[in-house]
Homo-oligomer: A and B are copies of this chain.
């Protein structure tokens, strides 16, 4: 007798039971639909890229999962040189450069795929998770106004998903460089100041002040920076910039983007300027976005992005400026489940279970009832196992199926069908001919 292979979960690779997978799939379908509504076109790249493409960006290389085949020794594996993608931005950059002559610019693409990261297990992070990205890519140039669409897309997606109160925080990195430029600051100083601002979230404004004091900054500039990140409006920020004689070019960009977003339908109350958001990624160059659930800000941003000058500098000398956002699907689902905003009782998509009270006598009738419901677009199952009605009703109940159809000797004689509402436990007898329309009414269709 062969030994059985042990079956157990792999840390970092989540797997849902059907009720949560149903939710996840509904979320993905809604995100896709909203992305398409804004004209973004689907792209899917292979899970696999050449190692030199994945490593071009640097930094993350140790986390890449490399690929080999069992019969390959180390050297041959080196030659294969393939790995799993760790985000969707590097594959997008490669895709755009590889297919540039066949794409039409500006190129608006969405991409919803799993990514893989060989994180250390003790971090308790996912090693496989979904990213849901959109980007608009220009060749050479890209108009500023594209930045205004991103908040509208987030707003449309989150509203369609039923995300509770959320707020998009928006800023522009040029505002800080405008401020620093007023005293001749730039380059490395800019990066260090950004880092200090970022620390103000996790460690408070006093830590940020101390970090700023370590820079070559006069006390007026330090005050101005700290004033700026506490500003709640464009007007307040304009005053801070004015006080030190800084340019307001970045601020005007931000104002244009925010006003255009409102014209495009953005709910004003769901968007506010926040001069304290920094975004870790170096490659953003002006507009940046973060999105928070109100009251759950400590969980971090669930949708972030920004504008960048150059998508594909590792692969080509041609400039591809762009703007994009990425929704953190796993985190979003988790937040909504914890908040009780979702009620994942359904374990199957079926809305109706056709029970089989007397299979030997009425099998054809059961099959016909199921067919009629499916032809009306109603997800339907037939209970085929030879169990009593009680077990069959129990199956519907455990699976969260809304209606059970019952048909036996009485119904056959009277040319009727019984429909049981699984929640109210009430049963209704309906003429055979009205059967489908009653089911539709009960399901609110």
Residues of A within 8 A of B (CB): 2, 4-10, 13-18, 21-22, 24-25, 29, 32, 36-53, 56, 61-71, 74, 77, 82, 84, 94-95, 97-99, 102-104, 106, 108-109, 114, 116, 118, 128, 138, 141-143, 145-146, 148, 156, 260, 263-265, 314-317, 347-350, 363-364, 367-368, 370-371, 374-375, 377-381, 384-386, 395, 398-399
Contact = CB atoms under 8 A, between A and B. Distances in A.
B42 A21 contact: yes
B114 A47 contact: yes
A316 B315 CA distance: 50
B44 A16 contact: yes
A376 B378 CA distance: 25
A84 B47 CA distance: 11
A18 B38 contact: no
Given A374-B265, A384-B145, A102 B17 contact: yes
A21 B43 contact: yes
A316 B367 CA distance: 34
The 5 closest A-B pairs by CB, nearest first: A39-B381, A39-B350, A13-B46, A265-B371, A36-B349
A37 B384 contact: no
Contacts of A109: 18
A62 B67 contact: no
B7 A374 contact: no
A17 B104 CA distance: 11
Given A265-B374, A381-B108, A349 B40 contact: yes
B395 A104 contact: yes
Contacts of A22: 41-42
A315 B116 contact: no
A394 to B, nearest CB: 9
B69 A67 contact: no
Contact of A264 (B13, B29, B38, B371): B371
A46 B14 contact: yes
A263 B128 contact: no
A63 to B, nearest CB: 7
Contacts of A349: 36, 39-42
B66 A62 contact: no
A343 B2 CA distance: 53
A61 B65 contact: no
Nearest to A2: B314
Contacts of A367: 148, 260, 263-265
Contact of A82 (B10, B99, B395): B10
Contacts of A347: 41, 104
A38 to B, nearest CB: 7
Contacts of A260: 363, 367
A108 B156 CA distance: 33
A379 B15 contact: no
A399 to B, nearest CB: 6
A106 B384 contact: yes
A188 B145 CA distance: 71
A4 B316 contact: yes
**Residue of A39, A48, A380 with most chain B CB atoms under a 10 A cut-off:** A39
Contacts of A380: 37-39
Nearest to A110: B349
A235 to B, nearest CB: 22
Given A7-B98, A384-B146, A374 B66 contact: no
20 contacts: A7-B98, A13-B48, A15-B45, A25-B42, A37-B377, A39-B349, A40-B349, A62-B70, A68-B68, A68-B77, A104-B395, A104-B398, A104-B399, A108-B348, A138-B385, A143-B385, A143-B386, A260-B367, A264-B371, A265-B371
